[in-house]
Structure 1
Amino acid sequence: MSAGWSMWVMFLVVLNLGITFFLFLWAPRAKIPTQPDGTSGHVWAHGVLREGVRRLPLWWVVFSAAMFVAGFTYLVLYPGFGNHKGALHWTAHGELAKDVAANDGKLDDLLARFREYPIEQLAGDPAAIQMGHRLFMDNCAACHGPAAHGNVALGAPNLTDDDWLYGGSGKDILTSIEHGRAGVMPAWGPSLGEPNVKHLAQYVLSLSGAPHDAAAAAAAKPLFATCAACHGPEGKGNQALGAPNLTDPIWLHGGTVADIETTIRGGRQGAMPAWDKRLSADQMRVLASYVYHLAHPDIGDAGR
């Protein structure tokens, strides 16, 4: 806080406390004109109700004095009076650091136990799942959704269906979280031409058994040789490359004819950020176990 703002805050504190403290001392001694019957002369309901004048009760005076003492004591002990740091030298940053250290101390034993299990087994530990869920909501839900059902518009995969682009083992999931992933589907529209794009989309639909134009699919079958380099000759994908399986009904960017044509024509690009700069090694293992748990909710309890 600059010196100017500090002086302004000090001025406001002194002004407000000064006025209220003056009123507190003056009000009990103020002389209020009263009628012979002890009222102020203000009446309502044709004289049925009259305003009485009484001294402030002792408990109110004592309580108010205690509040002034508490206020002055606070300004001496804690920051609040301009740049005065307070006799206790309390700061919000220091309080946060103390709370974080206390919380880390409580987690040490728990994390030490988590390190004893492989990720697949840790996925059955209720304490790990609870911690992993919080890490997921804080870091992953923005793309994958709070229920982890993915987001077609972003190309964020559904994590609950056990269908994996880069492998679904604990090690594979941890690698995805730690180092991120980058997927690229090249644009084939310029080289294939629009008619072939539409025919190839029908062939891709046929691979998953979806309704399709059989004649167009047959005509496009030779064109799929270009795609087989990544997706495989049978279209079952390649986890080493992150090329999706085209023979199941699961679609990363949508499975309608228009969606598939758009993917073939213009290509797709997707990026999973690396979290090793934000999360600790222990946190990434716990998060990986939670993601594994999403696709295997019936896994046994590792802590039993």
Structure 2
Amino acid sequence: MSTGWSLWVMFLVVLNLGITFFLFLWGPRAKIPTQPDGTSGHVWAHGVLREGVRKLPLWWVLLSGAMFLSGFVYLALFPGFGSFKGVLGWTSHGQLANEQAANTAKLEPLMQRFALYPPEQLAGDPAAQQLGKVLFEDNCAACHQRSGKGNQQLGAPDLTDQDWLYGGSGKDIATSIHDGRAGVMPPWASLGEQNVKNLAQYVLSLSGSPHDAKMAAAAEPIFKTTCAACHGPDGKGNQALGAPNLTDHIWLHGGTLADIETSIHDGRQGHMPEWDKRLSEQQIHVLTAYVYHLSHPDAGAAD
């Protein structure tokens, strides 16, 4: 804090305390004109309600004085009076660092035990699940939801099924969390509106969904010369590219005809941020096990 800001804060503190102290001393001694019946003369409800004038109760005066003194004690012990650090030398950063260090000391033995097992085995450990759930809700639930069911509007995949864009092994999941993923489905509006509609029908046919067979047949050559480069000639996708499998009934951005036409016409972009800047390697290991557990709830517990 600069000297100017420090002086300004000190001025505000002194001003507010000064006004409060003046009112505290003046209030009990203030003379309020009263009527013979002890009221101020203010009436409501056609005289039914009259404003009375009474002295402040002793308990209120004593309590207010104690609160006023506690304010001075606080300013002496803790920072608050300009740049004065307080007698105790307390800082929020220091308290946070101490609490983090204490928490780390408690977690370290547990983390060392977790490191002995691969994510696939650690996924069954109740302690790892508990910690992983906290990490997931703090960092991943904003997109994937607390349940892990994903969000089609954001293009965040469902993590509770066994359909994986980039692979579902412990190593693949750890890489996704650590490095992030960037998926791009290019727009194909240049193919023409009719071809986009035909392709949407062909994509529906790949999963056995109701479709227009004539339009799908017309789009098959286009799919195999254009879309197959990423999704494969059979439409089963490519995990190396993050191209989804089109032959199942799991859709990242929705599986209605309108959704599919939009995906083909406008393209899609997805971004999974990297978490290695926020989470430690140990935390990523536990989080990987938890994500694996979401789709493998019966995974064996670590011995």
Q: TM-score, normalised by structure 2?
A: 0.82
- 1:79, distance to aligned residue in structure 2 (A): 1.6
- Cross-structure match for 1:218: 217
Indicate the SS of the match to 2:220: helix
- Cross-structure match for 2:105: 105
Percent of matched pairs sharing the same residue: 68
Aligned residues: 295
Residue identity opposite 1:157 in structure 2: P
Indicate the SS of the match to 2:165: coil
- Cross-structure match for 1:131: 131
Instruction: Write the distance in 1 (CA, Å) between the matches of 2:197 and 2:21.
Output: 83
Residue identity opposite 1:180 in structure 2: G
- Cross-structure match for 1:140: 140
Instruction: Write the distance in 1 (CA, Å) between the matches of 2:140 and 2:253.
Output: 18
Unaligned segments of structure 2, at least 5 residues: 42-51
Indicate the SS of the match to 2:38: strand
Indicate the SS of the match to 1:124: coil
Once the two structures are superposed, the pairs formed by residues 181-260 of structure 1 within 5 Å of their partners are: 181-190=181-190, 192-226=191-225, 227-260=227-260
- Seen in structure 2, the aligned counterparts of structure 1 residues 220 and 19 have a Cα distance that, compared at 3 Å, is closer
Residue identity opposite 2:270 in structure 1: G
Instruction: Write the distance in 1 (CA, Å) between the matches of 2:53 and 2:230.
Output: 92
Question: Which of these two proteins has the greater Rg computed from alpha carbons?
Answer: 1
- Seen in structure 2, the aligned counterparts of structure 1 residues 281 and 214 have a Cα distance that, compared at 3 Å, is same
Cα displacement string for residues 9-32 of structure 1 (whole angstroms, at most 9, x for unaligned residues): 33444445456556767889x699
Residue identity opposite 2:9 in structure 1: V
- 1:211, distance to aligned residue in structure 2 (A): 0.2
Cα displacement string for residues 47-85 of structure 1 (whole angstroms, at most 9, x for unaligned residues): xxxx9999975x777766655554333222222222221
- Cross-structure match for 1:83: 83
- Cross-structure match for 2:44: none
- Seen in structure 2, the aligned counterparts of structure 1 residues 56 and 209 have a Cα distance that, compared at 3 Å, is closer
Residue identity opposite 1:139 in structure 2: N
Superposed CA RMSD: 3.4
- Seen in structure 2, the aligned counterparts of structure 1 residues 78 and 207 have a Cα distance that, compared at 3 Å, is same
Unaligned segments of structure 1, at least 5 residues: 34-39, 45-50
- 1:114, distance to aligned residue in structure 2 (A): 1.1
- Cross-structure match for 2:114: 114
Residue identity opposite 1:209 in structure 2: G
Instruction: Write the distance in 2 (CA, Å) between the matches of 1:201 and 1:16.
Output: 69
Instruction: Write the distance in 2 (CA, Å) between the matches of 1:195 and 1:232.
Output: 22
Once the two structures are superposed, the pairs formed by residues 3-82 of structure 1 within 5 Å of their partners are: 3-18=3-18, 42=38, 67=67, 69-82=69-82
Indicate the SS of the match to 1:143: helix
Could you list the runs of 4 or more consecutive aligned residues of structure 1 that deviate by over 4 angstroms after TM superposition? 15-28, 30-33, 51-57, 59-69
- 1:197, distance to aligned residue in structure 2 (A): 2.3
- Seen in structure 2, the aligned counterparts of structure 1 residues 56 and 154 have a Cα distance that, compared at 3 Å, is closer
Residue identity opposite 1:162 in structure 2: Q
- Cross-structure match for 1:48: none
- Cross-structure match for 1:47: none
Is 151-160 or 259-268 further displaced after alignment?
259-268
- 1:245, distance to aligned residue in structure 2 (A): 1.0
Instruction: Write the distance in 2 (CA, Å) between the matches of 1:54 and 1:229.
Output: 88
Once the two structures are superposed, the pairs formed by residues 250-289 of structure 1 within 5 Å of their partners are: 250-289=250-289
Cα displacement string for residues 150-186 of structure 1 (whole angstroms, at most 9, x for unaligned residues): 2222222111111101111111100111111222223
Indicate the SS of the match to 2:219: helix
Residue identity opposite 1:105 in structure 2: A
Q: TM-score, normalised by structure 1?
A: 0.82
- Cross-structure match for 1:290: 290
